[in-house]
A and B are shown apart, each in its own frame.
Chain A
Amino acid sequence: GNSVTQMEGPVTLSEEAFLTINCTYTATGYPSLFWYVQYPGEGLQLLLKATKADDKGSNKGFEATYRKETTSFHLEKGSVQVSDSAVYFCALSDLVDSSYKLIFGSGTRLLVRP
């Protein structure tokens, strides 16, 4: 079945450090891939997405590239800020079986220290 695996957190970085959060997936078809972010006390917000292989999603300095050969969608940012502290969720949607729902990873908590 479809699944998403994320690296365990928490990830603790100093401000301006480089960020990578790993995400790999298993899917039967050709899924769309998403990164969502959840700030404390809020709902999930879409951060970026990619709908086909080799697409790069980007937003607010974050990037992720859809790698079909490695079934990965790693999230990166060149210089993190304290305000990036949040929980990040990788997700996929696979329409092969005609049921539309997102499969989420377990989430990775990021803490950025000043």
Chain B
Amino acid sequence: DAGVIQSPRHEVTEMGQEVTLRCKPISGHDYLFWYRQTMMRGLELLIYFNNNVPIDDSGMPEDRFSAKMPNASFSTLKIQPSEPRDSAVYFCASSYPYNEQFFGPGTRLTVL
């Protein structure tokens, strides 16, 4: 298996632009998670899905952030409009129920 796939690996954009991060989970995994990692705040869970349905989005910072999972093999995290404070590494992870999570390599986002 190729593992969790994220794209792009690096994204540099200007403040105010829309950013879309993509994730392909491991085939067969029921759960998908989006995390954000910064030096100041560490690793934060933003939202997670079970069988393509959002279960807990309490970690989404504000309305500028949205996430979708249109099918079992694809999810997006969108930021619109982006701000410099959104600069971070965004991770996607997937898992079977009651099992460990497998993380993707992350997308490093820089908002200028």
A: residues with CB less than 8 A from B are 32, 34, 36, 42-46, 49, 89, 93, 95, 99-102, 104, 106-107
- Partner among A45, A49, A100, A106 whose Cβ is within 8 Å of the Cβ of B103: A45
Closest to A45 in B: B103
Flag if B91 contacts A43 (CB, 8 Å): yes
Contacting pair B100 A46 (CB below 8 A):
yes
State the majority secondary structure of interface residues on A.
strand
Of A43, A49, A95, most buried by chain B (CB within 10 Å of CB) is A43
> What number of B residues sit within 8 Å (CB to CB) of A?
21
Which B residues between 32 and 62 are near A, CB-CB below 8 angstroms?
33, 42-43, 45, 48, 50, 55-56
Report chain B residues within 8 Å CB of A106: 42
The residues of B that contact A102 with a CB separation of less than 8 Å are 45, 101
Contacts A43-B4, A106-B42 given; 6 further ones with Cβ under 8 A? A42-B105, A42-B106, A44-B93, A46-B100, A46-B101, A100-B48
Give chain B's interface residues, CB within 8 Å of chain A: 4, 31, 33, 42-43, 45, 48, 50, 55-56, 91, 93, 97-98, 100-106
How far is B97's CA from A32's CA once the two chains are assembled, in angstroms? 13
**Which of A34, A43, A101 contacts B56, CB < 8 Å?**
A101
Docked pose: A43 CA to B34 CA in angstroms: 12
Q: Is the CB of B98 within 8 A of A100?
A: yes
Residues of A within 8 A of B4 (CB): 43
